[in-house]
Amino acid sequence: MALVTMRQLLDEAAGGGYGVGAFNVNNLEQVQAIMDAARATESPVIIQASRGARKYANDRFLYHLMEAATEVYPEISVALHQDHGNSPETCRSAIELGFTSVMMDGSLMDDGKTPSDFEYNVRVTREVVEMAHEAGVTVEGELGTLGGIEDDVGSGEVNLTDPDQAVEFVERTGVDALAVAIGTSHGAYKFTKEPDREVLAMHIIEEINQRLPTTHLVMHGSSSVPKELVDIINEYGGKIDPTWGVPVREIQEGIKHGVRKVNVDTDLRLAATGAIRKAFAEDPSEFDPRYYLKPARAAMQEVVEARMVAFGQAGHAKDYDPIPLADMAIRYREQGHSLTVT
């Protein structure tokens, strides 16, 4: 079993100067694609489930799929993370289910849509930190809001993270990781032209990293939306308008400045959809789901492997032994919320 807390995984990444992809899962093929990619590249990995995923697959199925990953791939350190928890209650249920990390997204009210105010965000995030750290579980908070709406999460409004507020937020909440808004969006339609450093407000990451050097920064909405994946979908009857994601080199720039967790979801969706459309087109007489799910799984694995290499996590799977949750709980109690594991 190689279940690891996200705190340890990110502390190790910080020590090694690399980033770690956090990939969303809803079903068996996604879990297998991500784990096969982790095995092929010897990468530690974060697999995460949104509230939408928990609803789609059912909590018990989803948890056991993720647990199976730690059994079938014992050499890989895996953190199980709740993506965009909308309330302390959602985070509590994830912890009870066995997740080793939770995100309390208090940048939005518990409807997951309405932007909240700073004091609300501090209050709910602090509540989750108290509860989670007592169990040794890692907490990610979010300050500022991203564009786009995905899985019913998001206000569609962009509010970049203010560095002064980030410092106050981390001090008052004790979060292990902080999602920052630098102009990215959830979903496939992020930019209408190729974004550069100014469009992406990379200076915000640099400033927050200078002022909070031990806080792990998280980039959401960080799919790169490769043109070749969009082209396959459109070539086989799909209709995706021209769009740009976050270039891998910009993510690498962020990793140089304290970004440790990089959320990627859309790229896997695009890869799977293109492969399925292609399979349907190539042999319309096939009706065995394995005929189209196998190439979908392979296409997802390919894109995940490429990200693992680009983010620098490749080759680091066997660097360390996971610290059990109970031991993490003791460390938080003895050293406070801002402990360093490595």
Joined together, the tokens standing for residue 186 give 């959830």
**Whole-angstrom distance between the N-terminal and C-terminal Cα of the chain?**
20
Is residue 92 helix, strand or coil? helix
Distance CA 64, CA 58 (A): 10
Stretch that binds Zn ion, among 11-19, 165-173, 217-225, 315-323 (CB under 5 A): 217-225
Q: How far is the CB of 146 from Zn ion (least distance, A)?
A: 6
- Examine the residue annotation and report whether 164 is marked as an active-site residue of this protein: no
- SS3 percent helix, strand, coil of the chain, rounded to 5, is 50, 15, 35
Q: How far is the CB of 20 from Zn ion (least distance, A)?
A: 15
Instruction: Output 216 or 220, the one with its CB closest to Zn ion.
Output: 220
Instruction: Output 70 or 185, the one with its CB closest to Zn ion.
Output: 185
- If one asks whether residue 278 binds Zn ion (CB under 5 A), the answer comes out as no
Instruction: Output 297 or 307, the one with its CB closest to Zn ion.
Output: 307
Give 122-187 as a DSSP string. Answer: HHHHHHHHHHHHHTT-EEEEEESB-BS-BTTB--S--BPPPHHHHHHHHHHH--SEEEE-SS-BSS
Q: How far is the CB of 226 from Zn ion (least distance, A)?
A: 20
Stretch that binds Zn ion, among 32-40, 159-167, 168-176, 220-228 (CB under 5 A): 220-228
Distance CA 236, CA 238 (A): 6
- If one asks whether residue 220 binds Zn ion (CB under 5 A), the answer comes out as yes
- If one asks whether residue 81 binds Zn ion (CB under 5 A), the answer comes out as no
Instruction: Output 136 or 147, the one with its CB closest to Zn ion.
Output: 147
- If one asks whether residue 307 binds Zn ion (CB under 5 A), the answer comes out as no
Q: How far is the CB of 308 from Zn ion (least distance, A)?
A: 19
Q: Report the DSSP beta bridge partners of residue 179.
A: 142, 218
Q: Choose the catalytic residue: 11, 36, 83, 105.
A: 83
Identify whether the C-beta of residue 228 lies closer than 8 Å to the C-beta of residue 303. Answer: no
Size of interface with Zn ion, in residues (CB under 5 A): 1
Is residue 136 helix, strand or coil? coil
**Residues interacting with Zn ion, by CB under 5 A?**
220
Q: Which residues are catalytic?
A: 83
